[in-house]
Amino acid sequence: MKRAKNLFGTVTVPLEDVKDQVTESWHNIVKNKEEELSQSAPRESFKSTKKRGSLRIGLRVSAVAQLHHLGPHWYDALLHKLMYQHLGYLDSLDGFGRTSIRRSRQRKGIRCSNRSSKSNSTMSSSSSESSGSGSSIENEVLWPSVSPWPGTLSNASLSILKQYATMLNIPPQSVILSWWKVTSRLSIVDQSFLLQLLAILQRHIAEGNYSDEEMQEVRSTLRIWASLQEEKLVYLNNNYPATSRVISYQQLTHTLRGLKAVDSKPETRSLQIFPQDMWENAIRNRGRNSPDASEEQQLVAAVAVSQEIISFLRDVCDFYQDVFIRESQVSFLRLTYALLTYELSARVRPLMIKLYKPKGDSQFSCDANEINDTAETNSSTALQVSNPVWQLYKRLEIIVEIGENLPEEVQLQSDLHGYHQWFVGGVIRWQEHVFRESRSMIAKEVQKDEFQSNAKSYGSASISSSAMELTYVFRIVTTYWQKLAWPDEAEGNGIAKQLMQQCCSLGLLYTKLVISKLEVILQEKTDPKVLLLSAETCRALNNIEYVCEEIQELPGHFGLAIENEKYPVITNTTLKMETSIKKFIDTVIKKLRQTLNQAVMESCEMVNETPLLKKVLDQYLSLLDNCLTRPNFERFLRKIWNVLVAIFVSLVESNCDKKNAEFFSGVFTILERTWHFFTHSPTNSKGLDPQLAHTMEYQNLLDTLGNLKMPTESLVAKYYRERFEEQSQPGASLTARLVVLAYFTTTGNLTVEVIMANDIVKPKNYHEPTPVLPLMSSGKSPDTYVQVKLVPGEWFPNVRNQKTKIQKKSEAPVYKESFEFLISHTDTGTKSGGHLLFVLKMSHRVQADCILGEAVLPLEELPCVEPSAMRSVTTKYLTVNLAREDNEYTALKALQYRIWDKKAVSFLKEGKKKRKIKLQLDL
């Protein structure tokens, strides 16, 4: 009721003073209601007060017998009016009334639901009709600002109600019913007071104190009360806000106890109003998408609804759940979670399907504006950080996390189970948008990048801005994925691999653009005196290397397993990027090869490394060392080294039949110095690893140069050394076995005793020396002898060759002949690698003698003994065989190049004669 500001005063006449007669008297006008009720007005000769004055009133009240047409509803109206006045009086004292409450609610942002307002207005009108005038304060939310009304009235009001009940002859049970009918409609009433009234009401029902008409009123009021409690529980956070914890907790507790009391007592159980499933009808079908709303409006609304659900569920977890479990044995969280997630799913799922539905019917358009509009639309609906789609996704994630405390069957029944799958299309659109923009950005960055030094360092080198921009894109993508926190690990790994593949494609695009730009710069440099590489070129290669390493770290940033799993996309991408660097290096070296070739020729001719190492390599490698990363620097070193080895090989091959040993000795010297220049050592830690630099080509070159720089005699000695090593191998070919005794004496002689030969076989032919047919198979034993030589002969000019006597027709000829050679174990020929050569020959009367094989014994392996100790020398068993093809001996290869050397030519001719001799089976 609105209070009149210009009210002068009020007058109250107690009915008990009127009795059954007409009265006319003066009554004081007072401002305060309490003063008015407590004051007794005089009947006669009333004198007015100075402050307010007095009013003469004439009244007539009929007898009780004439009030038979009145009933309890008049008592109800009076009770309602007195309650209203009492609450209004409290409003004037401490702001208890509806006006201040609504103002407080407006300040705190509290709102009522439409459904509550509708029911409240209905009850207010009915109460106003029964009370005469004014409005009601039923169903107002008071808990945030005031305490609930405990159901007490002033003494005067209680006295009036008692007198009125006596006049109307209303029994106590009807008075209780009236109090229940009036107070149960007020939301501001303390629920503990209503619980007491309900207990008394149920007692009277059990005792049968109510008539049929009154029982109908009981049923009606209980249904209305239950409906109001249902409405309050549906809008739980509005009617029992968690911000007013103590009051809300008490009121909610007594409300649930009252509902439980209604359902537990037989007298009221027939109404079946216990709200175990009341929320389902109230919550279901609320908040669905409007068919007239746009997708953007629906998305914003879904975000708002999801946030409200989060706030409500958190309040449930923190405040309401305990009350419902204790008082009603109902898991309010479980029921509410299932219903709210059902409704939220009904709002979100169709919206996501509609947003990400592929437009298969749309035709391809070449209109640039239309393409741009489509791209903008897709980017606005992409699952991008901070946009509405992202907010909705993260809110659903929080809601699902709240439900993790519920039983597993509730989680599986939740319509939000698998919510992340609704947003796969958003991830794809975000991916398309980001990588489309990134490709355009990378092309622009590479085009304008001059590869100048940047503050960012990469090892000992530096990188430029374009590489920084690309790696920043990688950071955006990986950070996005980490924030996304995709709940399904298997599906998340698949999406992460797709994102990783897109990052790899950016790395390949960047490599292609940088290499293309470097090739254009390289083609513009035609002057051989100008360095082909610059610091900017080196920095561009560093960029690629830096991006390559960032790509290798992507699996870890995406949270993928990196210990026991390799990702082909990473391996292939890094391999392609490294291959691009190597191809560019090959292009640089190809242009540099002519300069290197000239420098090698000049250094070898001069036997001076300065033209190669100082004038060419030093300036290039210094630049590369200062500007390149270690991996790129090593790539250049390996490439240049391999090219230099190839140049040396070409130089040797083109001059092996023209130059003498002295020239190749100089080439060997330059090669050795180049080797030390390129490989790291205790004094040079920046070179190549010696093991990596020692390639097969380099080793073959060393062997070839080692042979070519030798004198002819040394090559001959090396050939016999190779023959000795060949014969010493297990399983070597065998044409005979020779038993000899050889030693030096301290007197300066070489004593050689040829004892015997056995196991003589005839080779099938020279090219296949495998012993397949014994000589005695022809039926005749051969005539054999042994020649003893010191080779090479140039080292032993004063020594004559010796031979044994011919042993005729003997399968195991015994020679038992000794030879003395005047040489010492300290002679030059002995130390330089001289050998004893035993040649087993088959004697013919008509034809030239046939060589069955030869055995080699190094002089340096012979013992030197005193003449008295000759018997202590052990016998040697030598393998006798024929030499293999010429190209199987490195020394022979070197000798074949020396067509200008008569000694070499003569030695080779002698070897060819041996191979032309054929054994005759018939002697």
- pTM (2 decimals)? 0.61
pLDDT, position 260: 79
Q: Residue 379 CB: number of other CB atoms within 10 A?
A: 17
Which of 84-88, 551-555, 747-751, 918-922 is least confident? 918-922
Task: Supply the pLDDT for residue 87.
Answer: 79
Q: For the chain, which residues make up each domain, given as ranges?
A: 155-285, 295-307+327-358+382-417, 425-524+534-566, 586-709, 730-766+784-885
Closest CA to 792 of 907, 913, 658: 907
The rounded distance, in Å, linking the Cα atoms of 221 and 227 is 10
pLDDT digits (tens, 9 = 90+) for 146-203: 678 888 888 888 888 888 888 888 899 889 988 988 888 887 888 889 889 988 988 8
Task: Give residue-wise pLDDT tens across range 474-518.
Answer: 999 999 999 999 988 888 889 999 999 999 999 999 999 999 999
In which band, very low, low, confident or very high, does the pLDDT at 683 lie, cut at 50, 70 and 90? low
Report cis status (omega within 30 of 0) of the bond before 863. no
Question: Alpha helix (H) ranges present in 266-387?
Answer: 266-269, 278-283, 295-315, 321-328, 332-355, 368-380
Within 8 A by CB and 6+ apart from 136, the residues are 84, 120, 123, 124, 127, 128
Rounded-to-integer distance, Cα 890 and Cα 899, Å: 16
The confidence score (pLDDT) of residue 279 equals 47
Give the per-residue pLDDT at 770.
41
Residue 588: predicted pLDDT: 87
Is 237 in contact with 176 (CB distance < 8 Å)? no
How far are the Cα atoms of 197, 226, 328 from residue 192, in angstroms, in the given order? 9, 15, 16
For the residues 60-76, what does the mean pLDDT come to?
62
Bigger pLDDT: 215 vs 47: 215
Query: Is the pLDDT assigned to residue 798 strictly greater than 80?
Result: yes
pLDDT for 899? 82
- For residue 893, CA distances in Å to 106, 656, 889 come to 107, 10, 6
Does domain 425-524+534-566 sit in CATH 3.10.450? no
Mean pLDDT rounded to a whole number for the chain: 77
User: Which residue is it, tokens 């005794």?
Assistant: 741
**Residues β-bridged to residue 560:** none
Q: Is 257 exposed, middle or buried (0-12, 13-18, 19+ CB in 10 A)?
A: middle
Per the rule left: phi > 0, alpha: psi between -120 and 50, beta: everything else, 325 is alpha
What is the 3 state secondary structure string of 881-917? Answer: ECCCCHHHCHHHHHHHHCCCCHHHHHHHHHHHHHHHC
| Whole-number pLDDT of residue 124 | 34
Tokens of 54: 């007095």
- pLDDT > 90? residue 855: yes
Q: Is the pLDDT of residue 325 over 90?
A: no
CB distance 552 to 570 below 8 Å? yes
List pLDDT tens digits, range 607-633: 998 988 888 888 888 888 888 888 888
Contact 386, 379 (CB under 8 A): no
End-to-end CA distance of the chain: 152
Q: What is the pLDDT of residue 277?
A: 55
Which pLDDT value is given to residue 43?
41
* Size of the chain in residues: 923
Alpha helices in 240-292 (DSSP H): 245-264, 266-269, 278-283
Assess whether pLDDT exceeds 60 at residue 521. yes
| pLDDT of amino acid 121 | 34
506 vs 87 pLDDT, higher one: 506
For the segment 547-556, what is each residue's pLDDT rounded down to a tens digit? 999 999 999 9
Q: Which tokens hold the place of 149? A: 């009304």
| CA pair distance 762, 771, nearest whole angstrom | 7
> Could you tell me whether strands 736-745 and 457-458 are parallel, antiparallel, or unpaired per DSSP bridges?
unpaired
Q: Which residues pair with 28 in a beta bridge?
A: 54
- pLDDT for res 530: 56
Architecture of domain 730-766+784-885: Sandwich (2.60)
Q: Are 635 and 687 in contact (CB under 8 A)?
A: no
Confidence grade of residue 125 (pLDDT, cut at 50, 70, 90): very low
Write b or e for each residue in 456-474: b if 16 or more Cβ atoms lie within 10 A of its Cβ, otherwise e: eebeebbbbbbbbbbbebb
Indicate if the pLDDT at residue 357 is higher than 90: no
Greater pLDDT, 684 or 617: 617
Residue 131 has pLDDT above 50, yes or no: no
Contact 268, 222 (CB under 8 A): yes
pLDDT (average), residues 27-43: 56
Return the pLDDT at 89.
57
pLDDT digits (tens, 9 = 90+) for 686-721: 788 888 888 999 998 888 888 888 888 888 888 899
Q: What is the pLDDT of residue 145?
A: 47
Whether the per-residue pLDDT at 94 is higher than 80: the answer is no
pLDDT tens string 568-615: 999 999 999 999 998 998 888 888 888 899 999 999 999 998 988 888
What pLDDT, on the 0 to 100 scale, is given for residue 17?
Answer: 57
pLDDT of 141 reads: 41
Choose between 454 and 205: higher pLDDT: 205
Residue 360 pLDDT more than 80?
no
Mean pLDDT of 814-836: 87
By three-state DSSP, how is residue 58 classified?
strand
How far is the C-alpha of 410 from the C-alpha of 414, rounded, in Å?
A: 6
Tokens of 88: 């209004």
Which letter does DSSP use for residue 805 in this model? P
Between strands 814-821 and 750-758, the pairing is: antiparallel
Digit-coded pLDDT (tens) for 862-915: 998 888 888 888 899 999 988 887 667 888 888 888 887 888 888 888 877 665
H/E segment holding residue 851: strand 850-858
> What are the helix and strand counts (H, E) for the chain?
34, 15
Residue 887 is predicted with a pLDDT of: 66
CA distance 681 to 668: 20
pLDDT (0 to 100) of residue 641: 92
Residue given tokens 């004063």 in the structure block: 798
Tens of pLDDT, residue by residue over 375-428, are 555 677 888 888 899 999 999 998 888 888 777 777 776 778 788 889 999 999
Exposure on the CB side of residue 57, measured as CA atoms within 13 A: 17
